[in-house]
């Protein structure tokens, strides 16, 4: 395999705090020998485990960048045993453009793994995480939210894994994060995800969906900040006590948890996130956008559970993910 074209301006083996960049050469019209400069912080104090903390894997999700900018700014190596690597915006070009995918190559970072050292900009970044950063880490926390088109109940999540011993360690990290909800997430499109790449390397992987709509809130930012510090304490990297609170454990047993729109139109949501719903309950209507006097199309709950995610914009298209229901674990 070719070496990565990305070079780090930080030394991963040095004690103390360093703020620098992952520099990826990117020749373009406005900068012939230019680079993409991805901010990174490394904080280390002696031997111990390594945590890799990432945000803006999708460029329009903000709790990760907010909580990680804050952590990078105030992290004190004297309180650490081990190493914390912080990348607030993995898909940095997408983050700067406030879009889910990269404006350079339309690359969706979380569908680009394992990446390629000789691929697109997005694939080169993915490859660096796959071959350089993830192997350094004992655990990875990747903070997501719904972006501009989805809104979620605030949850942290892990996956059912074939390696049950690893799943158990992931579950302990999930409990330590202590988001208001904890979900065993069923992925509908898992090829190329960072999640699988880290899990396949036998590392603890924790993700989140903490809100959405293309911004963040005081509440969702606080959940991200507390969750990250809880996980670092749980891993033995940061001194302190894990601050847990009630977290409702949810599972997603099958594809009936998802409802996709089969119509274009004006979206009327009929239940809010967190609502306990019964199979058959009216959850949404889609009205025509071009005339009055026509009945809407009704969408009903396919199963009992808790409304966990919803389409966010006021208009909807056929194929959009409209509703997600998860069920209490038990």
Task: Catalog residues that contact Zn ion under the rule CB under 5 A.
Answer: 58, 61, 144
Instruction: Find the shortest distance in angstroms from Cβ 236 to Zn ion.
Output: 28
- Identity of the residue, 44 or 144, whose beta carbon is nearer to Zn ion in the bound complex: 144
18 vs 215 by CB, closer to Zn ion? 215
Nearest-CA neighbor of 193 among 126, 261, 145?
Answer: 126
Cα–Cα dist 63/213, whole Å: 12
Q: How far is the CB of 320 from Zn ion (least distance, A)?
A: 16
Q: Which helix (H) or strand (E) holds 277?
A: strand 276-277
Burial of 71 (0-12, 13-18, 19+ CB in 10 A): buried
Instruction: Report CA-CA distances (Å) from 298 to 49, 273, 310.
Output: 51, 18, 15
CA 328, CA 330: separation in Å to the nearest integer? 6
Q: CB-wise, 59 or 265, nearer to Zn ion?
A: 59
CB 273 within 8 A of CB 151: yes
Indicate the residue among 187 and 243 with the shorter CB distance to Zn ion: 187
Residues β-bridged to residue 143:
55, 208
Identify the helix (H) or strand (E) that includes residue 109: none
Residue closer to Zn ion (CB basis): 100 or 203: 100
Shortest distance, position 65 Cβ to Zn ion, whole Å: 12
Distance of closest approach, residue 146 Cβ to Zn ion, in angstroms: 8
Kindly report whether the peptide bond that precedes residue 220 is cis, defined as omega within 30 degrees of 0: no
Report the nearest approach of Zn ion to the CB of residue 216 (Å). Answer: 13
């Amino acid at each position: 395999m070719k070496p990565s074209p990305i070079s780090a301006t930080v030394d991963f083996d040095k004690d103390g705090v360093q703020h620098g960049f992952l520099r990826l050469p990117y020749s373009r019209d406005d900068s012939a020998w230019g680079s993409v400069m991805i901010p990174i912080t490394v904080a280390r104090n002696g031997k111990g485990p390594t945590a890799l903390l990432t945000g803006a894997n999708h460029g329009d999700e903000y709790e990760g960048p907010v909580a990680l900018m804050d952590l990078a700014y105030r992290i004190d190596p004297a309180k650490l045993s081990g190493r914390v690597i912080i990348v607030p915006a993995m898909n940095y070009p997408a983050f700067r453009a406030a879009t889910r995918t990269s404006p350079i190559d339309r690359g969706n970072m979380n569908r680009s793994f394992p990446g390629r050292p000789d691929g697109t900009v997005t694939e080169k970044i993915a490859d660096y995480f796959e071959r350089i950063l993830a192997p350094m880490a004992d655990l990875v926390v990747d903070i997501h939210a719904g972006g501009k088109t989805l809104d979620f109940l605030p949850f942290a999540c892990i996956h059912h894994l074939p390696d049950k011993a690893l799943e158990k360690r992931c579950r302990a990290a999930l409990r330590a994060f202590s988001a208001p909800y904890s979900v065993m997430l069923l992925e509908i499109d898992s090829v190329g995800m960072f999640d699988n790449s880290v899990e396949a390397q036998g590392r603890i992987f924790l993700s989140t969906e903490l809100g959405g709509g293309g911004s963040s809130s005081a509440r969702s930012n606080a959940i991200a900040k507390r969750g990250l510090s809880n996980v670092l304490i749980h891993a033995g990297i940061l001194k302190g006590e894990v601050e847990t609170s009630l977290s409702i454990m949810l599972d997603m047993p099958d594809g009936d948890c998802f409802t996709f729109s089969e119509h274009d139109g004006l979206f009327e949501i009929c239940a809010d996130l967190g609502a306990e719903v019964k199979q058959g309950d009216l959850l949404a209507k889609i009205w025509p956008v071009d005339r009055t006097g026509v009945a809407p199309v009704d969408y009903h709950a396919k199963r009992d559970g808790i409304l966990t995610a919803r389409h966010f914009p006021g208009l909807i298209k056929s194929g959009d993910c409209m509703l997600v229901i998860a069920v209490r674990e038990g």
